[in-house]
Structure 1
Amino acid sequence: MSKQRGGAKLIKKAKLIIWKEAPMASRWKIEIVDRSFRDILDIDSPFGGKVIVFGGDFRQVLPIFPKSTRAEMVNASLVKPYLWHQMKKIKLTRNIRARTDSSFSKLLLRIGNGEEPIIRDDLVLLPKQLVIEIKSDGTGTDALLEKIFPELDKNIDSAKFMTERAILANRNEFVDQLNEMLISRFPGERRTLVLKKNVPIMLLRNLDAFNGLCNGTRMICRGFDNNVIYPEIMMAQNAFKHVFIPRIQLSPPKNEG
């Protein structure tokens, strides 16, 4: 990034920069940003003097390096760069998303802190209310899809039904499998992107922040042509706004089924 480009000018104007899920980033990426900011702003201090908030939870996902050891993963994390000791640590104590279910919130904390009893091979026994029973004529995956997306054929046109539920998975291969199985249950024509009408999708780039087209925006596919997708935004103040986006900008969500 040169000092004359628009990105550099935006960095100079910024008062605050927020880095989400920072524990997932490798230390080398963070150090590169630090050196780049110092160069762009001509100030030899951390990140060129800009205030940066690193958000995340070390109890979740660390940087992923295939076939690496635990020590190698920790060495590549945020706690290892020369900047760590210059950062002010602020801890959040309330789980806002789970505030209506204190027992579930406490369970997550116990698991994250390694305090929940283990039955075998580092496996935690889930409470019965979190377990879905498998029917004799089906599989666990089928039971999961039917539980989260019940009567899909009757609710297929309901944006509220689609955006109020999601399936999380810890590996991309499981996400791909769940997406494939769920999309196969939608009626309609199938295209190269493995997409059908009314399927929930997620925008992967910041295209137009003013109109709600940001990375991570959840939408519903209301139709598509060979090179264009017609989604409906289902978030915040831009909810129910219809837009059209080049097909390469979208994908089924990679961190959820």
Structure 2
Amino acid sequence: MKDYKFFEERCILYPTLESVEMMNDFMLSLIPGELKEYFSSDTACRSDADSEIHSEWFTSEFLNDIKCYGIPNHKLSLKKGAPTMLLRNIDQSAVLCNGTRLIVNDLLPNVIGATVLT
């Protein structure tokens, strides 16, 4: 776990979202330290008042339970030292784009600090 070069050359592939969650939980259990959980916003945007879609259909429970490819889960669990991968382009000029591998350094209330590996 201390040799970050190890993570530059490897990845774990799983065919289903259920198996990915199971493997993520297992890998986090191997890393010593305190687990920190981050949660997504769980309310619908009310900016489209004239929309034909009724925002009351989108309850917090419904939004929190959405699990599909391309949309991050409602809950993100991390530990310091955990290898991660960006799923969105943040700053391409700073190499913070989809697929960038990182190691988590800091877990603050609203910020996740990480070091770029690739």
**TM-score with structure 2 length normalisation?**
0.63
Query: For residue 213 of structure 1, what is the aligned residue in structure 2?
Result: 96
Correspondence 1:196 to 2:41: no
CA contact (8 A) 2:80 2:104 kept: yes
Correspondence 1:167 to 2:12: yes
Counterpart residue type for residue 91 of structure 2: D
SS across alignment from 1:184: helix
**For structure 1, which runs of at least 5 residues remain unmatched after alignment?**
1-155, 236-257
Greater RCO (CA < 8 Å, at least 6 residues apart):
2
Count how many residue pairs are aligned between Structure 1 and Structure 2.
80
Distance 1:195 1:188 in 2: 10
Percent identity, aligned pairs only, is 43
**TM-score with structure 1 length normalisation?**
0.30
The correspondence for 2:2, drawn from 150, 157, 166, is 157
CA RMSD between the two structures: 1.2
Distance 2:30 2:15 in 1: 23
**For structure 2, which runs of at least 5 residues remain unmatched after alignment?**
38-75
- Larger-Rg structure: 1
SS across alignment from 1:213: coil
The Cα shift of 1:164 comes to: 2.3
Distance 1:208 1:167 in 2: 25
The Cα shift of 1:173 comes to: 0.6
SS across alignment from 1:194: strand
After superposition, residues 53-68 of structure 1 pair within 5 angstroms as: none
Q: Which has the higher strand share?
A: 2
CA contact (8 A) 1:163 1:200 kept: no
Correspondence 1:180 to 2:25: yes
After superposition, residues 107-256 of structure 1 pair within 5 angstroms as: 156-192=1-37, 193-235=76-118
**What's the CA shift string for 1:135-165, capped at 9, x where partnerless?**
xxxxxxxxxxxxxxxxxxxxx2221122322
Q: Which has the higher helix share?
A: 1
The Cα shift of 1:211 comes to: 0.6
